[in-house]
Amino acid sequence: MHLHILGICGTFMGSLALLARELGHTVTGSDQNVYPPMSTQLEAAGIALMQGYAASHLQPHPDLVIVGNAMKRGIDAVEYMLNAGLPYTSGPQFLSDYVLRGRHVLAVAGTHGKTTTTTMLAWILDQAGLNPGFLIGGVPLCFSHSARLGGEVNAEKNYFVVEADEYDSAFFDKRSKFVHYQPRTAILNNLEFDHADIFDDLAAIQKQFHHLVRTIPSEGQIIAPITENHIDEVLDMGCWTPVQRTAIGENKADWQAELLHEDGSQFKVMHQGEEAGTVNWSMSGQHSVSNGLAAIAAAYHVGVSPQQACEALSNFAGIKRRMELLGTIDGIDVYDDFAHHPTAIETTLDGARKKIGQRKLWAIIEPRSNTMRMGSHKDNLAHSARMADEVIWYQPEGLDWDLSPVIAASTNSATISQQLEQIISRVQQQAQSGDAIVIMSNGGFGGLHQKIIAALKSR
């Protein structure tokens, strides 16, 4: 079957393209922005890529068009697809119909930590010899690709781990992606207001999460933190599935983590009050510990012992752009982090502070996500960055609101910069050996990461 994917270079759609190719389909795709690393990964898999969304990309007609959720009415390829009566579907629906059917699906949902927790869970199952399939919305450092079909170990152990996003499926299907996945094991990591471009309020997101809960069988399992009131409110709407609770240092939870180091680099796992194993890894921050604990609990539901899971996580390499150390220049550590929300900024910087101690911590932040660009979280931004000694907020041209109130509310040293060259020059002149610089954006940030590294090397 010839499949054409509109919006192929997004993390989800690109991963889906790899799965479709592995299934044996001929895959082509279009995107407004065709560039590495996704473009090179797709081309290496034998997938032809086209720039833009021209109607001609759908000639000759493919057997099926898979439509990314960035597509809108008025786009030439979309209008041609509809006028020509071409068969089409959403990415999540294709995943459900062609990949997930008949498999034990383990889904990871939540406002924060989905990519990391999905990768942790896939890694644990992989190291346990279960050869899981997976789809990860990021670039894992422990696997060669962001998606694979996996292999059937036996009829009862055919697993697929999927990052379960609450964003909508397509212009013709406004349900959250995860509603299509019908998991038997579901991690609900956390729940906050996000995606202000498609959700009016938190209640609208909770409604979608409850749609997910309704699809989980009574013989399945839900893993959720004991401290997340917004998830409790979802479960109170109706829950027909056993729930396992996780917590850090909370003895009422089914699964507990006891920190052996304040920065989260080592922790003990307790299950039903009994010591079950210890994780000693390169990750940091309580959010990482929470993610790891949830992955251990989910793996246990499919037969992986906590000890096996702890050993796997102790060898976990992490995810690109999640506190990824890009380099150390003259004693200055430069990190890349995907932070897309005030809570993500706060937990990342808290983990960084505990990791580096009293060394100077820089945070260079681009409020780039749709929700932050709309100013929905502006009242929380100053507080979220309080752990850094020096904060530089980047206000790009076209930002919908002024960052000045964030500076006024800051209790630490915080400034605004409207030019990347200013940021680079300041870091080049002022950063000293022992400093740690965390560059935070869910986009490319104009190549700032490598430009700062180059500037530090040239001093």
Binding residues for ATP: 110-116
Long-range residue pairs from 150-156, CB within 8 A, at least 24 positions apart, any chain = 153/129
Q: Do 348 and 323 meet the contact criterion of CB atoms below 8 Å apart?
A: yes
* Chain centroid to CA 9: 16
Q: Is the peptide bond before 60 cis (omega within 30 degrees of 0)?
A: yes
What is the token pair recorded at 253? 């939870």
Q: Which of 223, 230, 231, 266 lies closest to 247, judged by CA? A: 223
CB 42 within 8 A of CB 68: no
Binding residues: 110-116
The CA-CA-CA angle for residues 295, 219, 249, to 5°, reads: 35
- ∠332-336-342 over CA atoms, to 5°? 115
Position of tokens 């702890």? 310
Number of Cβ within 10 Å of residue 234's Cβ equals 23
Q: Closest Cα to residue 148, out of 132, 129, 127, 163? A: 132
Cα 18 vs. chain centroid, distance in angstroms?
18
